[in-house]
Structure 1
Amino acid sequence: MARRKDPEGGLPPPDKAPTQSLFAWLRGRFFAGMVIAAPIAVTFLILQFLIGEIDKRVVPLIPAALNPETYLKYAVPGFGLIVLVVFLTILGGIATNLIGRSVISVGDRILSQVPIVRSLYSAFKQLVEVFAKDNTDQFSEVVLIEYPKTGTWCLGFVSSPAKGEIGATLGGEYLGVFVPTTPNPTSGFLMYVDSKEVIRLKMTVEEGAKMILSAGLVVPEFPPAPKPDPKAPKKILP
């Protein structure tokens, strides 16, 4: 394309690309560094808080002869966590043999009969068993359901098909869908929806949880990147 001539008959100088100021350059680099450092710092602070709380409660229970703080002039960070892991491992080993199962069964019956304790104990026991149970059907699928009104869709996780009295009452193929709230996914609603009225998504449960935690700001890539085939021959670069 021909350049426009100036009044004197010459060609004007070519358009120059806008230069970025030093302040804008520094600001961009600062925010880029903050995006990288913020998740690392938050993770470190949370782990530091949890380890400190565990140490504060476990270390005082350790006998003085076994406590390294008795011989050292400073506290050993994470020692309480190590003791807790060892204790839970030993407890799990005891619980797997015949005598251990009998003792735990007696304790379970006693706690289940105390008027106030049994409600809390049974609720937490069922909750722990649900999360500890190795069941691939639990929260294995992310779906969209039309809620709370027509034309409005929300993200949910399939828990299990309707069973027992609920399945017999509803009939048909209904799915139990847990709809978590944002940004606290531990609370939400349990709904039973006709399987024909849900839209099944290809994103993983982890990707769906990240999307809910970020209030929709973190969106998984679509279409998802193809996974490498381990059986495919590797390319050898020349």
Structure 2
Amino acid sequence: MKRYLIAGLLSWLPLAITIWVLLWILGLIQGVFNAVLRLLATLAPQHADLIQSLGQIPGMSVLVTASVLLLSGIFVTNVFGQWLMRQWDRVMGRIPIVKSIYSSVKQVSDTLFSSSGQAFREAVLVQYPRAGSWTIAFVTGKPSGEVLGLLQQQSQPDGQRATEWISVYVPTTPNPTSGFFLMMPRHEVKPLGMSVDAALKYVISMGVVAPQTGTPELPAPSQEQPQA
């Protein structure tokens, strides 16, 4: 009975978690959409009934959100949109407290999601938390400025070439959104051929879901009986 219950749980668990995540995302979108509708109803009370009725249409929040994101992307990619975004960033950069949060989030998001960026484009093996113990990490960039200067002073003997340093993020298991930031010499990490998505699945599953290595299968041994 216990074996059957566990087998049934494992068969439904992926679908249940997927539905739960989708419902959470849809609930978040619907909550923001309803807040915007309430604001519009306050600004235009003569059309309050019509505005509130939009929130009762199934899927309207998702459609409006996708349309806003698409139109925003089209707008900010042209010359005038880029100029307007620079002006907006300049205004946000002058507001106390807000400027530190806004600028930090913008720099991180631009680095992570930029098509030309190198953050989270490479999975590597690093020795952590001690020598001889290996874990998966993701390259996020390279140290610079004062940090790089101090690192090179500690690692560069006189007359030898400077060591190349990289920044890596070591995610925790099974929650990869928390982890550790390390700066290591490039020669101390081992590059992996697997994709970042495959490495992330490997970390989240605690090593249960092994990525495909592409190693060719060996031919099965012959079952023929030796001739007398």
TM-score when normalising by structure 2: 0.73
Within the candidate set 189, 214, 223, 1:224 is matched to 214
Q: CA deviation at 1:143?
A: 1.8
1:12-161 equivalent positions in 2, closer than 5 A:
23=1, 27-28=3-4, 30-62=5-37, 64=48, 67=51, 69=53, 75-135=56-116, 137-161=118-142
Residues 150 and 60 from structure 1, CA distance in 2 versus in 1: closer, same or farther, beyond 3 angstroms? Answer: closer
- Equivalent position SS for 2:193: coil
| Higher alpha-carbon Rg | 1
Greater RCO structure (CA 8 Å; 6+ sep): 2
What letter corresponds to residue 58 of structure 1 in structure 2?
Answer: F
Match of 1:214 among 174, 189, 205: 205
Closer/same/farther in 2, CA of residues 92 and 140 from structure 1, 3 Å limit = closer
Q: Distance in 2 between matches of 1:148 and 1:199?
A: 16
Provide Cα deviations, 1:179-207, integer angstroms capped at 9, x if missing partner: 11222212222222122222223332112
Could you tell me whether the CA contact under 8 Å between 2:174 and 2:203 is conserved in 1?
Answer: yes
**Residue identity opposite 2:96 in structure 1:** P
Look up the equivalent residue of 1:141 and give its one-letter code.
E
Structure 2 residue ranges without an equivalent (≥5): 41-47, 153-161, 217-228
Q: Pick closer, same or farther for the CA change 1:88–1:142 going to 2, 3 Å.
A: closer
Q: Which has the higher mean CA deviation after the structures are superposed, 99-108 or 111-120?
A: 99-108
1:134, distance to aligned residue in structure 2 (A): 0.5
Question: Are the structure 2 counterparts of residues 204 and 103 from structure 1 closer, same or farther at C-alpha, using a change threshold of 3 Å?
Answer: closer
Unaligned runs of at least 5 residues, structure 1: 1-22, 227-238
Please give the alpha-carbon distance, in whole angstroms, between the structure 2 residues aligned to 1:224 and 1:67. Answer: 55
Distance 1:214 1:164, change over 3 A: same
Give the secondary structure class of the aligned counterpart of 2:206.
Answer: coil
Report the alpha carbon displacement of residue 161 of structure 1 after superposing the two structures with TM. Answer: 4.1
- Give the one of 187, 197, 201 matched to 2:188: 197
For structure 1, which segment, 172-181 or 117-126, has the greater mean C-alpha deviation from structure 2 after superposition?
172-181
- Deviation of the 1:156 alpha carbon: 1.0
Cα distance in 2 for residues equivalent to 1:176 and 1:77:
45
Report what 1:187 is aligned to: 178
User: 4+ runs of 1 displaced by more than 6 Å?
Assistant: none
Q: Which has the higher helix share?
A: 2
Question: What is the one-letter code of the residue matched to 1:218?
Answer: V
TM-score after normalising by structure 1: 0.70
Partners of 1:143 and 1:157 within 8 A in 2? yes
